[in-house]
Structure 1
Amino acid sequence: MSTRALILLAVFLSVALLLLGLAAWTLSEEARHQRRLRARVRRLAGDELDDRPSISLLRESYLQNLSPLERRLELSDILQPLRKQLDQAGVSRPAYQLLLLMFALGLGAALLTWQLVELPLAAPLSGLLVGSLPLVLLQVRKQRRMQQVEQELPDVLSMLARSLRAGLPLTQALKIVADDMDGVVPAEFGIVYTDLNYGGEIRAALDGLSERVPSPTIATLNTAIMIQRDTGGNLAHVIDQLENLARQRFRFKRQLKTFTASNRVAAWIVGFMPFALAAILELTSPGYITDFFDTEIGRLLIYTALGLVILGALVLWRLVKVEV
């Protein structure tokens, strides 16, 4: 097989991998569940909700502290997905600053690699990897925050139900939860209370809560509140049932994580084994790996091997990741 055919094959595999990853994310059970919940909220609301991101009163107060240029950048449609990730991770930093940090790190890494390594693809690859590091750390922080949310939700919902059963209105119940409890969820409920206390609409406040905390339990709670507001009902009883469901869901996820621990460790071992083996071979036999970079076909083999290792790691990661 010629070098041109190998390059075309590597490009085809890369594009196919990207498309498979996009399809797996789009068709995942969690994405379908969130779409069903959003559709149900729209039907229960009686009219179509605005798909544009709503800006709460607290959000407007935050934007007023920025300069006109910063406010224009923060409200741009291009930075909205990044802004959403920052909110879900609990990071109070403008999105454009994170984007500039990623660009600076990527450019610095690419220039440094260009000066040290004489490989045509090494500079852009290193720039891409280093530049995406803040985004990876942001995703890790988001996952940890969501785990904390799932752990806090049962107790928070229990106190919210007891406050409602005592005869307090929803706003005062949210205030009691925010004042008497510590954690991510009470702080988010405090933001909802403050937004309502400033005169904001309950639908906009709940939509903001769902955007900041993308939890199925929170989405179900918002649906129950909207139903109770429009048609009436025993909201405390519904929250009690939701608390029981959240507690069972959290317990099941802990058990599932325990059962899949060995598979996840095996995935990490298989993912790092090629790199560890290459390092051991290079240390014991100098030039065994680096000699591949001296010829064009050797570099192509190295790049193909790296692509296959990444593909295998993604497949293993998808196999051990179970949506609940």
Structure 2
Amino acid sequence: MLTVALVLLYAAALVVLFGVFRSTSRLPLERRRPSDAEKQTTLSRTSGATTDFLSDLLSRRGWTQPLAASLEQAGMKISPAEFLVFVISGSVVALLVGYLIAGLGLGLLFAAASPAFAVALVNIRQSKRRAAFAAQLEDTLQLLSGGLKAGHSLLRAVDAISREAESPTNEEFARIVNETRLGRDLDDALDQAAQRMRSDDFSWIGQAIAIHREVGGDLAGVLDEVAETIRQRNQIRRQVAALSAEGKFSAYILMALPFVVVGILSLTSPSYVARFVETPLGFGLIGVSAVMLIIGGVWMKKVVSFKF
């Protein structure tokens, strides 16, 4: 049984490596040069058929657009179908790893936790991307104000930011520029970008630009005032982050401690851990522990999180 499990584990790892992260060109075959045409192998045909099936399934369920938007906001350059294949493959690997450690019960627990881990990963990447956008907003305003003072139009200044700023600011401003070129109003594009990034500061910038387009005035001076306000808010935000860092670090340690203890006991005394997945009482204790861990984590997050 151990040999079979190892074989399945390596097979699942190969699916992840070659099925999900395969290098495919986004250019259609009919538009490629003959020398650039890819040779269809059995693995590529199988992975392509799998992603096509999952893509059709997501489209029928109406999940393609929300999932694609979440991946885009997280900065992940993969399609929803490829992400779903990654989650399924990761669940299979987690199932086999848990089975090798302590049997089928732990394997099923790991497999059930894999989708939650994938969702958490996407949310973490979204949070980091939004935090980076907020941190770059002060420099963004300086570039925008400098472009206006140099005599450029508003759209020209926005286009300059899309080429000169760092990621993710340049990506968001490039999207704004592309949307305006397709006929969308600039105010709507800015408001939509503020909603995507969940940035109140950028929403203020959009409102200032909208007011300027209606009544006129010195937009560069207004943006300088907004930049000063955002600078002060960022200073307060950094102070709050520094003061709450100790509590957050303690929360991370306490959240990771149960998993570390279980991992050490699985290596040193597998029979002791196996009792938790062999009896109904053991599964009940695991469920109670998971609920208590979630409640404690949410509680500590509320304690060390501040909104201002």
- Say yes or no: TM over 0.5: yes
Residues 305 and 249 of structure 1, relative CA distance in 2, 3 Å threshold: same
Question: Which residue of the partner structure matches residue 227 of structure 2?
Answer: 243
Q: CA deviation at 1:133?
A: 3.0
Post-superposition Cα deviations, 1:167-204, rounded to whole Å, max 9, x if no partner, equal 32210111222334333213422332233234433244
Higher relative contact order (Cα pairs below 8 Å, separated by 6+ residues): 1
1:128-143 equivalences in 2 (<5 Å): 128-143=112-127
Question: Which residue of the partner structure matches residue 64 of structure 2?
Answer: 79
Tell me the SS of whatever aligns to 2:198.
coil
Tell me the SS of whatever aligns to 2:184.
coil
Question: Which residue of the partner structure matches residue 184 of structure 1?
Answer: 168
Q: CA deviation at 1:260?
A: 0.9
Deviates more, 1:260-269 or 1:158-167: 158-167
Residues 231 and 298 of structure 1, relative CA distance in 2, 3 Å threshold: same
Question: Which residue of the partner structure matches residue 73 of structure 2?
Answer: 88
CA distance in 1, matches of 2:244, 2:191: 34
The question of whether the paired residues in 1 share the 8 Å contact of 2:102 and 2:273 is answered with: no
1:50-129 equivalences in 2 (<5 Å): 77-107=62-92, 109-110=94-95, 113=98, 118=103, 122-129=106-113
Q: CA deviation at 1:117?
A: 5.1
Q: Does 1:151 align with 2:135?
A: yes
Tell me the SS of whatever aligns to 1:175.
helix
The question of whether the paired residues in 2 share the 8 Å contact of 1:104 and 1:131 is answered with: no
1:237-316 equivalences in 2 (<5 Å): 237-278=221-262, 287-316=271-300
CA distance in 2, matches of 1:191, 1:278: 46
Q: CA deviation at 1:230?
A: 2.9
Identity %: 26
Residues 112 and 158 of structure 1, relative CA distance in 2, 3 Å threshold: closer
Task: Let me know the Cα RMSD of the aligned residues.
Answer: 3.4
Question: Which residue of the partner structure matches residue 320 of structure 1?
Answer: 304
- The TM-score normalised by the length of structure 1 is 0.66
Q: CA deviation at 1:222?
A: 1.6
Tell me the SS of whatever aligns to 1:131.
helix
Q: CA deviation at 1:115?
A: 8.0
Q: CA deviation at 1:287?
A: 4.4
- The TM-score normalised by the length of structure 2 is 0.69
Question: Which residue of the partner structure matches residue 168 of structure 1?
Answer: 152
Q: CA deviation at 1:73?
A: 5.1
Q: CA deviation at 1:278?
A: 5.0
Residues 106 and 313 of structure 1, relative CA distance in 2, 3 Å threshold: same
Q: CA deviation at 1:218?
A: 1.6
The question of whether the paired residues in 2 share the 8 Å contact of 1:83 and 1:94 is answered with: yes
Q: Does 1:229 align with 2:176?
A: no
CA distance in 2, matches of 1:281, 1:90: 38
The question of whether the paired residues in 2 share the 8 Å contact of 1:74 and 1:95 is answered with: no
Task: Mark the runs of 5 or more structure 2 residues left unpaired by the alignment.
Answer: 1-30, 32-50
